A and B are shown apart, each in its own frame.
Chain A
Amino acid sequence: MEKLNRRNFMTLAGASGAALAVGVGKSKKALAGSVKFENGGRDFSPVTGKERKAIPTACWQCVTRDSMIGYVEDGRLKKLEGHPGSIRTLGKLCAKGQAGVNQVYFPDRILHPLKRVGKRGEHKWKRISWDEALDLVASKLKPLRDAGTPELFMYQYGRHKASQAATMYDFMAAYGTKTIGNHTSVCEAAKWVGQESLWGGMYDNWDYDKTDYVVNFGSNQFETHTNHIPTSQRLIRAMIDRGVPLYTFDVRLSNTAAKSTEWIPINPGHDGLVMLAMINVIMNEGLFRKDHFKFMRVTPDYHATTDQKIAAIKKEVAKFTPAFAEKRSGVPASKIKEIARGFAKAKSACLVTYRGTVMHYHGADQERAAMLLAAITNNLDTPGGRVMGVGAGWKAPSTPAAKVHKGLHVKDGFKGEAVFPTHHVSHQVGPVIKDGFAGRPKVYWWSCYNPAFINGDNNEWASILKDESIIPFLITSTITYDESSQYADLILPDVTYLERWDWEDMVSANQIAEFYIRQPLIKPLGEARCQGDVWPDLAKRIGFELAWKDKKDFVRQSCEMTPGVKEAGGFDYMMKEGVWHDPNDKGNYGFYAKKVDVSGDGVILDKKTGVYWNWKKAGVKSEAAAKKAGYLGTKGAKKAYVAQNIEGTPLSAYAPNTKFTKSGLLDFYSDNFKDKGLPAFPTYTPTPEHEAMAKDELIMTTYKVAVHSHSRTTHCKWLTEIKHDNPGWINSKTAAERGIKDGDTIKVHNKLGAITTTAYVTEGIVPGVIAISHHFGRQHSGIYGSGKNNPINGGASSDPDAKNMTWKKHGVHPNAIIPNSSDPISGTQRWMDTVVRVAKA
Chain B
Amino acid sequence: MDGSMESPKRTKTKIGRRDVLKGAGMAVAGAAALATPVSEAEAAKKAPRWVMVMDLRKCIGCRACTVACKAENDVSLGRFRTVVQEKTTGTFPNTKKGFLPIMCNHCEGNKKDKVPPCVKVCPEYPGPRKVFKTPDGGKIRYRGGATYKRPDGLVLIDSELCIGCGKCIDGCPYGVRSFNPFVKAGKKPEKMAADKCDMCKERVANGIDPSCVNTCQGRARIFGDLNDPNSEVAKLVKEHDLAKNVLLPEEGTDPHVFYIDPDNMLKDLYTKREKGKLDHYVDLIP
Find out whether the CB atom of B22 lies under 8 angstroms from the CB atom of A37.
Answer: no
Q: Which of these, A32, A48, A56, contacts B25 with CB under 8 Å?
A: A32
Within the complex, what minimum Cβ distance (angstroms) separates B39 from chain A? Answer: 5
Q: Which of these, B9, B11, B219, contacts A237 with CB under 8 Å?
A: B219
Within the complex, what minimum Cβ distance (angstroms) separates A149 from chain B? Answer: 42
Find out whether the CB atom of B22 lies under 8 angstroms from the CB atom of A39.
Answer: no
Find out whether the CB atom of A85 lies under 8 angstroms from the CB atom of B181.
Answer: no
Q: Which of these, B32, B209, B228, contacts A38 with CB under 8 Å?
A: B209
Q: A98-B67, A222-B60, A259-B60 known; A10 and B228 CB under 8 Å?
A: no
Find out whether the CB atom of B71 lies under 8 angstroms from the CB atom of A99.
Answer: yes
Find out whether the CB atom of B200 lies under 8 angstroms from the CB atom of A34.
Answer: no
A-contacting residues, B31-80, CB 8 Å: 31-32, 34-39, 42-44, 46-49, 55, 57-58, 60-64, 66-68, 70-74, 76-79
Q: B248 near A: Cβ within 8 Å?
A: no
Q: A24-B23, A48-B31 known; A237 and B216 CB under 8 Å?
A: no
Find out whether the CB atom of A763 lies under 8 angstroms from the CB atom of B5.
Answer: no
Residues from chain A with a CB closer than 8 A to the CB of B17 are: 7-8
Find out whether the CB atom of B63 lies under 8 angstroms from the CB atom of A706.
Answer: yes
The interface-forming segment of A172-180, A437-445, A659-667, A798-806 is A798-806
Find out whether the CB atom of A255 lies under 8 angstroms from the CB atom of B36.
Answer: no
Q: How far is the CA of A33 from the CA of B78 in the complex (A)?
A: 36
Within the complex, what minimum Cβ distance (angstroms) separates B108 from chain A? Answer: 16
Find out whether the CB atom of A804 lies under 8 angstroms from the CB atom of B42.
Answer: no
Q: B8 near A: Cβ within 8 Å?
A: yes
Find out whether the CB atom of B20 lies under 8 angstroms from the CB atom of A98.
Answer: no
Residues from chain A with a CB closer than 8 A to the CB of B225 are: 32-33, 35
Q: A30-B44, A57-B3 known; A40 and B95 CB under 8 Å?
A: no
Query: Total interface residues on A, using CB and 8 Å?
Result: 119
Q: B18 near A: Cβ within 8 Å?
A: yes
Find out whether the CB atom of A85 lies under 8 angstroms from the CB atom of B12.
Answer: yes
Q: How far is the CA of A85 from the CA of B5 in the complex (A)?
A: 11
Find out whether the CB atom of B12 lies under 8 angstroms from the CB atom of A86.
Answer: yes
Within the complex, what minimum Cβ distance (angstroms) separates B21 from chain A? Answer: 5
Annotate A10-27 by CB proximity to B: 1 below 8 A, 0 otherwise. 111110011011111110
Q: Which chain A residue lies CB-closest to B84?
A: A722
Q: How far is the CA of A82 from the CA of B71 in the complex (A)?
A: 14
Residues from chain B with a CB closer than 8 A to the CB of A24 are: 19, 22-23, 36-38, 135
Q: Which of these, A23, A30, A79, A767, contacts B43 with CB under 8 Å?
A: A30
Q: Which of these, B4, B35, B282, contacts A21 with CB under 8 Å?
A: B35
Q: Which chain A residue lies CB-closest to B48?
A: A32
Q: Which of these, A53, A233, A762, A766, contacts B4 with CB under 8 Å?
A: A53
Query: Total interface residues on B, using CB and 8 Å?
Result: 107
Find out whether the CB atom of A39 lies under 8 angstroms from the CB atom of B209.
Answer: yes
Q: A232-B217, A801-B77 known; A20 and B34 CB under 8 Å?
A: yes
Q: Which chain B residue lies CB-closest to A723?
A: B285
Q: A273 near B: Cβ within 8 Å?
A: no
Q: Which chain A residue lies CB-closest to B57?
A: A240
Find out whether the CB atom of B6 lies under 8 angstroms from the CB atom of A576.
Answer: yes
Within the complex, what minimum Cβ distance (angstroms) separates B95 from chain A? Answer: 4
Q: Which of these, B20, B206, B226, contacts A44 with CB under 8 Å?
A: B206
Find out whether the CB atom of A94 lies under 8 angstroms from the CB atom of B64.
Answer: yes
The interface-forming segment of A462-470, A682-690, A713-721 is A713-721
The interface-forming segment of B85-93, B116-124, B166-174 is B85-93
Q: A513 near B: Cβ within 8 Å?
A: no
Residues from chain A with a CB closer than 8 A to the CB of B219 are: 233, 237
Residues from chain A with a CB closer than 8 A to the CB of B20 are: 9, 12-13, 22, 36-38
Q: A79-B211, A85-B9 known; A763 and B285 CB under 8 Å?
A: no
Number of A-B contacts (CB under 8 A): 368
Q: Which of these, A7, A29, A56, A258, contacts B96 with CB under 8 Å?
A: A258
Q: How far is the CA of A56 from the CA of B209 in the complex (A)?
A: 18
Find out whether the CB atom of A706 lies under 8 angstroms from the CB atom of B77.
Answer: no
Q: How far is the CA of A31 from the CA of B55 in the complex (A)?
A: 26
Q: How far is the CA of A764 from the CA of B247 in the complex (A)?
A: 27
Find out whether the CB atom of A44 lies under 8 angstroms from the CB atom of B202.
Answer: yes
Find out whether the CB atom of B2 lies under 8 angstroms from the CB atom of A519.
Answer: yes
Find out whether the CB atom of B22 lies under 8 angstroms from the CB atom of A34.
Answer: yes
Residues from chain B with a CB closer than 8 A to the CB of A507 are: none
Find out whether the CB atom of A30 lies under 8 angstroms from the CB atom of B10.
Answer: no
Find out whether the CB atom of B71 lies under 8 angstroms from the CB atom of A14.
Answer: no
Q: Which chain B residue lies CB-closest to A708?
A: B285
Find out whether the CB atom of B61 lies under 8 angstroms from the CB atom of A33.
Answer: no
Q: A95-B63, A732-B92 known; A240 and B55 CB under 8 Å?
A: yes
Within the complex, what minimum Cβ distance (angstroms) separates B16 from chain A? Answer: 8
Within the complex, what minimum Cβ distance (angstroms) separates B239 from chain A? Answer: 14
Find out whether the CB atom of B32 lies under 8 angstroms from the CB atom of A20.
Answer: yes
A-contacting residues, B250-286, CB 8 Å: 282-286
Q: A101 near B: Cβ within 8 Å?
A: yes
Q: A90 near B: Cβ within 8 Å?
A: yes
Q: A34-B22, A764-B97 known; A46 and B202 CB under 8 Å?
A: yes
Find out whether the CB atom of B12 lies under 8 angstroms from the CB atom of A87.
Answer: yes
Q: Which chain B residue lies CB-closest to A99?
A: B67
Residues from chain A with a CB closer than 8 A to the CB of B208 are: 13, 37-44
Residues from chain A with a CB closer than 8 A to the CB of B8 are: 10, 41, 56, 84-85, 576-579
Question: Which of B25, B47, B214, B231 is the most central at the interface, judged by chain A CB atoms within 10 Å of its CB?
Answer: B214
Q: Which of these, A26, A229, A721, A760, contacts B39 with CB under 8 Å?
A: A26
Residues from chain B with a CB closer than 8 A to the CB of A253 are: 88, 95, 97
Within the complex, what minimum Cβ distance (angstroms) separates A450 from chain B? Answer: 22
Annotate A221-244 by CB proximity to B: 1 below 8 A, 0 otherwise. 011000001001100110110000
Find out whether the CB atom of A722 lies under 8 angstroms from the CB atom of B92.
Answer: no
Residues from chain B with a CB closer than 8 A to the CB of A4 are: 10, 12
Find out whether the CB atom of B38 lies under 8 angstroms from the CB atom of A46.
Answer: no
Within the complex, what minimum Cβ distance (angstroms) separates B69 from chain A? Answer: 9
Q: A32-B25, A576-B5, A722-B283 known; A93 and B64 CB under 8 Å?
A: yes
Within the complex, what minimum Cβ distance (angstroms) separates A563 from chain B? Answer: 18
Q: How far is the CA of A801 from the CA of B71 in the complex (A)?
A: 13
Find out whether the CB atom of A519 lies under 8 angstroms from the CB atom of B285.
Answer: no
Q: How far is the CA of A41 from the CA of B93 in the complex (A)?
A: 44
Within the complex, what minimum Cβ distance (angstroms) separates A828 from chain B? Answer: 27
Residues from chain A with a CB closer than 8 A to the CB of B231 are: 33, 35
Annotate A404-439 by CB proximity to B: 1 below 8 A, 0 otherwise. 000000000000000000000000000000000000
Within the complex, what minimum Cβ distance (angstroms) separates A798 from chain B? Answer: 14
Q: A81 near B: Cβ within 8 Å?
A: yes
Q: A240-B218, A265-B93, A577-B8 known; A32 and B21 CB under 8 Å?
A: no
Q: Which of these, A57, A719, A763, contacts B92 with CB under 8 Å?
A: A763
Within the complex, what minimum Cβ distance (angstroms) separates B36 from chain A? Answer: 6
Q: How far is the CA of A371 from the CA of B226 in the complex (A)?
A: 49
Q: B143 near A: Cβ within 8 Å?
A: no
Find out whether the CB atom of A727 lies under 8 angstroms from the CB atom of B22.
Answer: no
A-contacting residues, B167-206, CB 8 Å: 181-182, 198, 200-206
Within the complex, what minimum Cβ distance (angstroms) separates A308 from chain B? Answer: 40
Within the complex, what minimum Cβ distance (angstroms) separates A325 from chain B? Answer: 16
Q: A627 near B: Cβ within 8 Å?
A: no
Q: How far is the CA of A683 from the CA of B137 in the complex (A)?
A: 72
Q: A448 near B: Cβ within 8 Å?
A: no
Binding site for B on A (CB under 8 A): 3-14, 17-18, 20-26, 28-46, 48-51, 53-57, 69, 78-82, 84-87, 90-95, 97-99, 101, 222-223, 229, 232-233, 236-237, 239-240, 253, 255-259, 263, 265, 519-520, 575-579, 705-707, 717-719, 721-723, 727, 731-733, 760, 762-767, 800-802, 804-806
List of 6 A-B pairs having minimum Cβ-Cβ separation, nearest first: A33-B228, A49-B31, A258-B97, A33-B225, A233-B217, A44-B202
* 14 A-B pairs (CB sep. < 8 Å): A20-B21, A20-B32, A26-B38, A26-B42, A35-B224, A35-B228, A40-B209, A41-B5, A56-B3, A92-B217, A99-B71, A232-B60, A237-B219, A575-B3
Known contacts A24-B37, A718-B66; 15 additional CB pairs below 8 A are: A3-B14, A30-B39, A33-B228, A35-B225, A37-B223, A38-B207, A39-B208, A80-B71, A98-B70, A222-B60, A232-B62, A240-B218, A706-B63, A763-B92, A805-B78
